[in-house]
Amino acid sequence: DTGVSQNPRHKITKRGQNVTFRCDPISEHNRLYWYRQTLGQGPEFLTYFQNEAQLEKSRLLSDRFSAERPKGSFSTLEIQRTEQGDSAMYLCASSLERGNGYTFGSGTRLTVV
Amino acid sequence: AQRVTQPEKLLSVFKGAPVELKCNYSYSGSPELFWYVQYSRQRLQLLLRHISRESIKGFTADLNKGETSFHLKKPFAQEEDSAMYYCALSGTGNTPLVFGKGTRLSVIA
């Protein structure tokens, strides 16, 4: 197990296009989190899953954002009709339910032009 | 509401000098506090958590509930400590982490 894996590492897209990111967590971790980070800010919580159930969504997560975790394994985060304000680093993390902290992936950097 | 405040965006110290990175939080319940570190071109990683009461890479942090603080300290800074440091809080029921905006530590040789 090489930790939390995120793909792609970078994505450049035109405004209005849809994009999808993937996160593969540590296999024994049942919790999976998505965060967004912009320049000069700390990671901001978007949503999280416990197994396949999506337990919480931030108000930052507009209707254009959707996340899934089928079968409680990998997760995808889709952004529809991208806007320039969506440009950010999207971070995925996983943990045990009562864990010792999160393990983060390297992130997917999205640039909307 | 949960909030984490790191008042310093940048902290510069000389090698061998003591370091204190400040973190204050706002939470009405019993929080769990963490420090995460991000070295240049690396992913965010856990440095330490308050309930373990351990020292990692010479760093310690004590939860002060009276002052609602969780400052990170190291007696003698090393050049390899230069990184971005984030304080984070999890609320009762193991709620998702809320992060501060981070402090960039620069250790000058």
Contact A100 B97 (CB under 8 A): no
- pLDDT for A99: 59
Nearest-by-Cβ selection for A48 from B52, B96, B101: B96
* pLDDT tens string B2-13: 899 999 999 999
Domain total in chain B = 1
Residues of B in contact with A101 (CB under 8 A): 34, 36, 46, 49
pLDDT digits (tens, 9 = 90+) for B56-108: 899 999 899 999 999 999 999 999 999 999 999 998 877 899 999 999 999 99
Domain that holds residue B20: 3-108
pLDDT tens for A55-113 read 999 988 889 999 999 988 999 999 999 999 999 999 999 998 765 689 999 999 999 99
The answer to whether residues B63 and B33 touch, using CB atoms and an 8 Å cutoff, is yes
CA-based nearest distance B57→chain A, Å: 17
Helix (H, G, I), strand (E, B) or coil at A23: strand
Pairing state between β B24-26 and B32-38: unpaired
Suggest the residue from B97, B98, B103, B104 to mutate for an interface test with chain A (most A CBs closer than 10 A): B97
Q: How close does chain B come to A113, measured CA to CA in Å?
A: 24
Interface size, chain A vs chain B, as Cβ–Cβ contacts under 8 Å = 47
**CB < 8 Å from B in window 48-87 of A:** 48, 56
CA nearest to A106, candidates B39, B101, B102, B89? B39
Name the CA radius of gyration of chain B, rounded. Answer: 13
Q: What is the pLDDT of residue B29?
A: 86
Residue of chain B minimizing CA distance to A95: B96
If you average pLDDT over every residue of chain B, what do you get? Answer: 94
CATH of the domain at B30: 2.60.40.10
pLDDT of residue B53: 77
Do residue B98 and residue A45 have CB atoms under 8 angstroms apart?
A: yes
pLDDT confidence of residue B50: 86
Q: Give ∠ CA B67-B69-B70 in degrees, rounded to 5.
A: 150
Q: Give one word for A61, left, alpha or beta, with left for phi > 0 and alpha for psi -120 to 50.
A: beta
Task: Say yes or no for a CB contact (<8 Å) between B44 and A40.
Answer: no
**Burial level of B9, CB count in 10 A (0-12/13-18/19+)?**
exposed
Of the candidates B46, B95, B96, which has its C-beta nearest A101's C-beta?
A: B46
Q: What was the pLDDT predicted at B83?
A: 98
Q: Which amino acid is at B10?
A: L
Residues of B with CB under 8 A from a CB of A: 4, 6, 9, 34, 36, 43-46, 49, 52, 86, 88, 94-102
